[in-house]
């Protein structure tokens, strides 16, 4: 699997490198003892590598069956799995499946199903910890609905966390969605909520680890919702 840096992080990494260089170079030239320069360089290097790690963007190829399959939209940990009423756009009872991403996870977001994008809306909000239940409705977030070939509507919601300050959503109404394509990106710790039709077979449980674009998290049963 080939890993590259996501384009959302390119400018940040360039500017961060320049800033850290401005800090480190004078230390090596003029500050004594040299232990100061060595210590600061080590700390800055570790910090820079952590940021590089955050913006990694692996190219993934889903090899399973696409029909009626829901694939995880993000790397992370399943933190919520419950029946709830979704009142923004679906206006019905659904199964909510939430994946929390730490700062160490890949933060690119994949489409969970194949289909057509029918709804996209960004909401301003708070920046509470993304693992809290209230973050689904009170935090900065972006909602995207995909209609599957069988006619079912799946809501994917990107949610900012306590450290996240920017949600990027590439999806637009009318776009063709594929589980192999990036739907967006969230900068620093955050969460993804999926709202699935009742009757969907959930394949994961709370505490399970997921990989975006790879892990099958549910299987739809259109005949149960006809």
Enzyme catalytic residues: 190
**Where does residue 106 rank: exposed (0-12), middle (13-18), buried (19+ CB within 10 A)?**
buried
Strand partners, 159: 141, 191
Structure tokens at 173: 């109404």
Is the distance from CB of 204 to CB of 77 less than 8 angstroms?
A: no
DSSP 8: G
Structure tokens at 109: 């977001």
Taken as a whole, the chain contains a residue count of 226
End-to-end CA distance of the chain: 39
Is the distance from CB of 187 to CB of 177 less than 8 angstroms?
A: no
The 3-state secondary structure of 79-107 reads: EEEEEEEECCCCCEEEEEEEEEECCCCCC
* Coil/strand/helix, residue 214: coil
Element (H, E) at 146: strand 141-147
């Amino acid at each position: 699997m080939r890993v590259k840096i996501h384009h959302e992080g390119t400018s940040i990494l360039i500017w961060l490198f320049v800033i850290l260089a401005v800090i480190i170079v004078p230390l090596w030239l003029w500050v004594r003892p040299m232990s100061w320069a060595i210590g600061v360089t080590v700390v800055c290097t570790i910090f820079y590598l952590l940021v590089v790690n955050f913006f990694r963007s692996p190219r993934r190829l889903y090899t399973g069956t696409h029909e009626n399959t829901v694939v995880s939209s993000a790397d992370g940990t399943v933190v919520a799995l419950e029946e709830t009423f979704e009142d923004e756009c679906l206006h019905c009872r659904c199964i909510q499946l939430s994946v929390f991403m730490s700062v160490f996870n890949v933060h690119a977001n994949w489409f969970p199903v194949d289909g057509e994008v029918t709804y996209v809306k960004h909401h301003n909000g708070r920046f509470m910890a993304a693992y809290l239940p209230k973050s689904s409705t009170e935090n900065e977030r972006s909602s995207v609905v995909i209609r599957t070939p069988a006619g079912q509507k799946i809501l994917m919601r990107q949610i900012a966390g306590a450290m996240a300050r920017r949600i990027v959503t590439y999806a637009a109404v009318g776009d063709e969605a594929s589980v192999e394509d990036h739907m967006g990106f969230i900068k620093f710790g955050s969460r993804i909520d999926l709202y699935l039709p009742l009757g969907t077979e959930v394949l994961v449980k709370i505490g399970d680890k997921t990989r975006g674009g790879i892990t099958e998290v549910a299987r739809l049963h259109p005949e149960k919702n006809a």
